[in-house]
């Protein structure tokens, strides 16, 4: 899926130069911290015979983590998170949506877990496509994103089905890199604070240590949140939706157990969980073990719709009010998407 962005989706991406500014900011931060750590910590350590061994080990470990971090960052930016195809691999399911015209996909609505309040299949009015489960339209990227997690301005991209693993690993390697700097450079910074050290060097080291500490703190919290989401089989958008509804978090329809949930983000083979390769299997369109998309008979669809209508009628009014009031949770990024969910919180209603 990662190589099949829609033509429209890829055309509008990277078309606004101002949106590269956050990426530039991150690159300046990374380059600054790398330079300070190498020039004022690793190289002096390696030059001293007593600490050269320690210096070599720290240089090798840090540069390996740094390389992985940069690789994941580039992959996050350049990998399309995945969008709704025109047809599926078998060519049977047509995802295009024509108003007031029932299509094969609509008649097969019983296969979808998430539906609108009315029980009808969700669709995107901007892309004129039916939405698969967990898919949401991103207003910044101007396209529907499969298994959308959130839009991240720091990568000028959405985090979705095809780049979720890269995003998660980016957080992991960033946390490791920052903590390496914070804890190993501390000694060098401490000994630099004396009258013999050049002011500029002392300033850069203190600034580097402070900056690394700040990043380490922020990204560690963010990684903890995303690890928790992964273990709970939730995306950030789903977390926001659930928070607003105040329902139990662990009643998630996509929960495959701890091991299964990790596999669905980091890939099927545990050996490659921390390599920026071996993405999770699947097409980003189906996440439940329910009836195949086109397998449901129209009778099933009707009874499914009736049941869903009944279930949803009671609390819809409250949900809608809450949803309209709500903003993002933590990252402030949920608001960017036209999030919709199982209870039909869909702007195209």
Q: How far is the CB of 347 from Zn ion (least distance, A)?
A: 10
CB of 171 to Zn ion, least distance (A): 18
Among 72, 141, 144, 152, the active-site one is: 152
**Structure tokens of 322?**
């809450």
The half-sphere exposure of 256 on its side-chain side, counting CA atoms within 13 A, is: 12
Residue 146 near Zn ion by CB under 5 A? no
Using CB under 5 A as the binding criterion, the count of chain residues that bind Zn ion stands at: 10
Give 41 or 147: the residue with its C-beta nearer to Zn ion.
147
Binding residue (CB under 5 A) for Zn ion from 42, 45, 140, 205? 140
Active site includes 152?
A: yes
137 binds Zn ion (CB under 5 A): yes
* DSSP secondary structure letters along 86-151: SB-TTS--B-B--TT---HHHHTGGG-S-EETTSPBPEETTTTEEPPTT-EEETTTTEEETT--EE
**Which residues in 154-213 contact Zn ion (CB under 5 A)?**
158
The tally of CA atoms less than 13 A away on the side-chain side of residue 344 is 18
Does residue 1 bind Zn ion (CB under 5 A)? no
Stretch that binds Zn ion, among 54-62, 88-96, 149-157, 181-189 (CB under 5 A): 149-157
Q: 124, 155, 176, 205: which one contacts Zn ion (CB under 5 A)?
A: 124
**Dihedral (Cα; 78, 82, 84, 87), 10-degree rounding:** 100
Task: Verify binding: residue 41, Zn ion, rule CB under 5 A.
Answer: no
Least distance in Å: CB of 143 to Zn ion?
6
CB 122 to Zn ion: min, Å? 10
Instruction: At 170, list the tokens.
Output: 């980016």
Q: What is the DSSP string of 263-321?
A: HHHH-S-GGGTTSS--PPSS-SS--S-SS-TTT--HHHHHHHHHHHHHHHHTTHHHHHH
Binding site residues, Zn ion, CB under 5 A: 124, 126-127, 137-138, 140-141, 144, 151, 158
Active-site residue list: 152
């Amino acid at each position: 899926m990662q190589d099949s962005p829609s033509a429209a989706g890829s055309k509008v991406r990277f078309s606004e130069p101002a949106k590269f500014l956050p990426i530039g900011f991150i690159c300046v931060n990374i380059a600054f911290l790398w330079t300070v750590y190498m020039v004022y910590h690793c190289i002096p350590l390696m030059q001293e015979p007593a600490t050269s061994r320690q210096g070599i080990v720290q240089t090798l470990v840090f540069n390996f983590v740094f390389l992985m971090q940069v690789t994941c960052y580039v992959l996050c930016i350049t990998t399309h998170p995945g969008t709704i195809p025109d047809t599926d691999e078998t060519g049977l399911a047509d995802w295009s949506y024509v108003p007031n015209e029932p299509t094969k996909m609509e008649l097969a609505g019983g296969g979808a877990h998430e539906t609108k309040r009315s029980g009808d299949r969700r669709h995107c009015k901007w892309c004129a496509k039916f939405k698969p489960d967990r898919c949401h339209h991103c207003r910044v990227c101007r396209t529907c994103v499969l298994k959308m997690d959130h839009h991240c301005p720091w990568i000028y991209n959405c985090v979705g089905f095809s780049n979720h693993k890269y995003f998660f690993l980016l957080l992991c390697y960033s946390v490791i890199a920052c903590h390496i700097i914070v804890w190993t450079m501390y000694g060098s910074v401490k000994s630099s604070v004396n009258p013999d050290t050049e002011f500029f060097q002392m300033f850069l080291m203190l600034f580097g240590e402070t900056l690394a500490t700040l990043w380490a703190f922020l990204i560690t919290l963010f990684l903890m949140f995303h690890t928790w989401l992964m273990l709970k089989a939730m995306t950030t958008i789903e977390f926001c939706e659930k928070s607003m509804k105040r329902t139990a978090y662990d009643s998630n329809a996509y929960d495959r157990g701890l091991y299964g949930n990790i596999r669905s983000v980091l890939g099927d083979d545990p050996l490659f969980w921390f390599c920026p390769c071996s993405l999770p299997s699947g097409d980003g369109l189906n996440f439940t073990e329910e009836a195949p998309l086109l397998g449901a008979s129209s009778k099933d669809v009707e009874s499914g719709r009736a049941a869903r209508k009944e279930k949803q009628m009671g609390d819809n009014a409250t949900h809608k009010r809450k949803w309209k009031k709500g903003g993002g949770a933590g990252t402030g990024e949920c608001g960017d998407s036209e999030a919709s969910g199982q209870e039909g919180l869909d702007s195209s209603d």
